Amino acid sequence: MHEVSSREILEKLREMNAKRVLIQTPEGLKREAQSLADFLEENGVDAIISGDINYGACDPADTEAKRLGCDALIHLGHSYMTLHLEVPTIFVPAFAKVDVVPALERNIDEIRKLGGRIALVTTAQHIHQLGRAKAFLEENGFEVLVGRGDSRVSWPGQVLGCNFSAAKTDADGVLFIGAGYFHPVGIAMAVKKPTLAVNPYSGDAIWMDREAERLVRKRWAQIANAMDAERFGVITSTKKGQLRLAEAKRIVRLLREHGKYARLIAMNHINYPALEGFEFDAYVVVACPRVPIDDYENWRKPVLTPREVEILLGLRDEYEFDEILGVEREVDEPLGIALHGG
Ligand code: SF4
């Protein structure tokens, strides 16, 4: 299903004169990671595979690579994110081989319901086909906007679960190409415009607005549950791309100014069982925004995002998704780069 270019990686490593590497992989690319390690060893590079779970480019194992005496880190499955890294890192996004145009063709009548001017977005997996998708839609009479996105994403039109900057245009609605609810429901929550997700594998199209409304209602319920809380644990992450210490400190300050007890907690893998035993009535996660939104059912205490704390304290009226934003991008960049050295 996915393409990982072992030869290209080997060439990069040779250019870098790397003799030992750590390979980091998401769940879905474990086999590819193992084949890559075998291939690299056959070609004279000592390869170690990281067994830790990885969910995003926000969590590179560069510190671990350094500790293991590796000259480089190969981070599979995600595109480059601007971070301060301790060893040279090759980000290898895995491009899906599925053709996206047949699913667009099949759902063209549904896509028309978005309006004539649409924002087109996808994940790194399908970004190499965004140009084809745009051309197809334009041939069918649409005006297609591909937002530049900010520095947290690698390409125009790319979205992450925590960053929808590329979906923010003055279009009538947003067309997302990709599988699953994770990204498109985030778009609908963050952009607040009609959002249609077209799945290139199944060929289905699903409107995300109702699901987003349902999730926002659940978030209001979490805020209501935290109304009587007096003691807050404010959690910041030690993962490089989720570390939002200044924001976490701001939330601690805000809570204290409003008469609450607040204590800063640093965690790597943020999960409720690890917090059992502390005396807090509620938590605020100032890290990956998807932890409180997608995992709250596993928490026995209310768990909020920073924006939700502002609502709780009466500082904000309207619901807003807690995005992690980068800096504004100044120039358009080409689509479909295979490898990124960090
Ligand atoms: S912060 Fe969360 S949503 Fe963003 S890239 Fe990391 S794991 Fe994905």
Domain boundaries 101-212, corresponding CATH code:
3.40.50.11850
Q: What is the pLDDT of residues 36-91, one digit of tens each?
A: 999 999 999 999 999 998 999 999 999 999 999 999 999 999 998 888 899 999 99
Hey, what are 89's tokens?
């890192």
Q: What is the pLDDT of residues 10-31, one digit of tens each?
A: 999 999 999 999 999 999 899 9
Residue with tokens 């971070």: 83
Mutate to test the pocket of ligand 1, among 83, 267, 288 (most ligand atoms within 8 A of CB): 288
Q: Is the pLDDT at 340 greater than 90, yes or no?
A: no
Q: What is the pLDDT of residues 216-245, one digit of tens each?
A: 999 999 999 999 999 999 999 999 999 999
Hey, what are 99's tokens?
């053709």
Hey, what are 313's tokens?
């304290």
Q: How far is the CA of 81 from the centre of ligand 1 (A)?
A: 11
Beta bridge partners of 206: 197
User: What's the per-residue H, E or C state across the chain?
Assistant: CEECCHHHHHHHHHHHCCCEEEEECCHHHHHHHHHHHHHHHHCCCEEEECCCCCCCCCCCCHHHHHHCCCCEEEEECCCCCCCCCCCCEEEECCEECCCCHHHHHHCHHHHHCCCCEEEEEECHHHHHHHHHHHHHHHHCCCEEECCCCECCCCCCCECECCECHHHCCCCCEEEEECCCCHHHHHHHHHHCCCEEEECCCCCCEEECHHHHHHHHHHHHHHHHHCCCCCEEEEEEECCHHHCCHHHHHHHHHHHHHCCCEEEEEEECCCCHHHHCCCCCCEEEEECCCHHHHHHHHHCCCCEECHHHHHHHCCCCCCCCCCCCCCCECCCCCCCCCCCEEC
Q: Is the pLDDT at 336 greater than 70, yes or no?
A: no
Q: How far is the CA of 231 from the centre of ligand 1 (A)?
A: 27
Q: Is the pLDDT at 338 greater than 50, yes or no?
A: no
Q: What is the pLDDT of residues 106-148, one digit of tens each?
A: 999 999 999 999 999 999 999 999 999 999 999 999 999 999 9
Q: How many CB atoms lie within 10 A of CB 300?
A: 9
What does the pLDDT read at residue 329? 59
CB 45 within 8 A of CB 20: yes
pTM for the whole structure: 0.91
Q: Which residue has the least CA distance to atom 5 on ligand 1?
A: 56
Superfamily for domain range 2-94: Diphthamide synthesis DPH1/DPH2 domain 1 (3.40.50.11840)
Residue ranges lining ligand 1, Cβ < 6 Å: 55-56, 58, 160-162, 241-242, 288, 290, 324
Q: Which residue has the least CA distance to atom 2 on ligand 1?
A: 288
Mutate to test the pocket of ligand 1, among 55, 59, 187, 237 (most ligand atoms within 8 A of CB): 55
Q: How far is the CA of 259 from the centre of ligand 1 (A)?
A: 32
Q: What is the pLDDT of residues 267-289, one digit of tens each?
A: 999 999 999 999 999 999 999 99
Mutate to test the pocket of ligand 1, among 27, 80, 160 (most ligand atoms within 8 A of CB): 160
Q: Which residue has the least CA distance to atom 1 on ligand 1?
A: 288
What does the pLDDT read at residue 94? 85
Q: How far is the CA of 324 from the centre of ligand 1 (A)?
A: 9
206 phi-psi bin (left φ>0, alpha ψ -120 to 50, beta other): beta
Q: What is the pLDDT of residues 144-176, one digit of tens each?
A: 999 999 999 999 999 999 999 999 999 999 999
Which atom of ligand 1 is closest in space to residue 59's alpha carbon?
6
In Å, how far are 5, 48, 72, 250 from 10, measured between CA atoms? Answer: 9, 15, 12, 44
Q: Is the pLDDT at 1 greater than 60, yes or no?
A: no
CB 301 within 8 A of CB 280: yes
Which atom of ligand 1 is closest in space to residue 287's alpha carbon?
1
What does the pLDDT read at residue 333? 44
Q: How far is the CA of 290 from the centre of ligand 1 (A)?
A: 7
CA distance 145 to 216: 27
Q: How far is the CA of 56 from the centre of ligand 1 (A)?
A: 5
Residue with tokens 């980000």: 91
Which atom of ligand 1 is closest in space to residue 163's alpha carbon?
4
Q: Does domain 226-310 have CATH number 3.40.50.11860?
A: yes
Report residue 330's pLDDT band, with 50, 70 and 90 as the boundaries.
low
Domain coordinates in residue numbering, the chain: 2-94, 101-212, 226-310
Mean per-residue pLDDT, 196-213: 97
Evaluate whether 2-94 and 101-212 have a shared fold. Answer: yes
Q: Which residue has the least CA distance to atom 4 on ligand 1?
A: 162
